[in-house]
């Protein structure tokens, strides 16, 4: 049911955190993996080596998904390497947190360009490929704050809310071609981004989670794996919260 043998999965921002966990999980299920990274080549190559220990193939390609040309080239290189792309996980994302009155134009634009335009750029680049093969899975990483909002993150919240709207529209366009498009909205997940939060904020957030703990990247990866599988063939245009009940 969760067998991805023969599939090719492209994971943007796949060198660390949630993206790394997704790449490893999809590789363990049999997919060949293309890991996209922006800066840390060593980390991406380390993930690739770990994936290849499971018996599948992995490739590492640098590229800034905020740049339409680089996003297109990333997909082209994946096709040159493996022949096609069956699965796209739009995971690459950044934060530039500050209060709205202090937020610089660049803080706003950089987050929108990577977190929202990056999803559009990569999705547009794979659509013809997936339409031709009449099968595809596109999973876009949103966030619970794209649903609830969060002080000090107007740029991030706007980008992640936009991802949900993009997901719904793309699902309507592509559903008849055998392509599903869904979003995953993580809650408080233990990553490099959350490790830097002050202790009082961490405790406050943990207190709002019914299951009583922070999530792990593997929790998110499991949801993504399900949406990539044939078991989720009748699910599209949805946002799956992986948040321990934080948002209901």
Residues tagged active-site: 156
Q: Where on the phi/psi map is residue 145: left (φ > 0), alpha (ψ -120 to 50), or beta?
A: alpha
| Dist CA 127 CA 204 (whole Å) | 41
Nearest to 165 by CA among 119, 220, 131, 105: 119
Q: How many CB atoms lie within 10 A of CB 199?
A: 7
CB 103 within 8 A of CB 111: no
| Dist CA 140 CA 133 (whole Å) | 20
Residue 214 phi, psi (nearest 5): -75, 155
């Amino acid at each position: 049911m969760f067998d991805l043998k023969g599939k090719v999965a492209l994971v943007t921002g796949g060198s660390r955190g949630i993206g790394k966990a997704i790449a490893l999980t999809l590789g363990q299920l049999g997919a060949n993996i293309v890991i996209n990274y922006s800066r840390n080549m060593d980390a991406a190559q380390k993930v690739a080596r770990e994936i290849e220990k499971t018996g599948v193939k992995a490739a590492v390609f640098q590229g800034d998904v905020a740049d339409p040309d680089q996003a297109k080239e990333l997909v082209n290189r994946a096709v040159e390497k493996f022949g096609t792309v069956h699965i796209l996980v739009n995971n690459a994302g950044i934060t530039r947190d500050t209060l709205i009155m202090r937020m610089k134009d660049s803080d706003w634009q950089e987050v929108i360009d990577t977190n929202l335009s990056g999803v559009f750029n990569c999705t547009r680049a794979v659509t013809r490929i997936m339409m031709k093969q009449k099968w595809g899975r596109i999973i876009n990483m949103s966030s619970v704050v794209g649903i609830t909002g969060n002080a000090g993150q107007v740029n991030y919240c706007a980008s992640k809310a936009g991802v949900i709207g993009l997901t719904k529209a793309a699902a309507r366009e592509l559903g008849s071609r055998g392509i599903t498009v869904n979003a995953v909205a993580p809650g408080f997940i233990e990553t490099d981004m959350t490790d830097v939060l002050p202790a009082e904020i961490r405790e406050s957030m943990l207190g709002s989670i019914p299951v009583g703990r922070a999530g792990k990247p593997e929790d998110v990866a499991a949801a993504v794996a399900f949406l990539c599988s044939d078991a989720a063939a009748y699910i599209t245009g949805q946002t799956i919260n992986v948040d321990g009940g934080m948002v209901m």
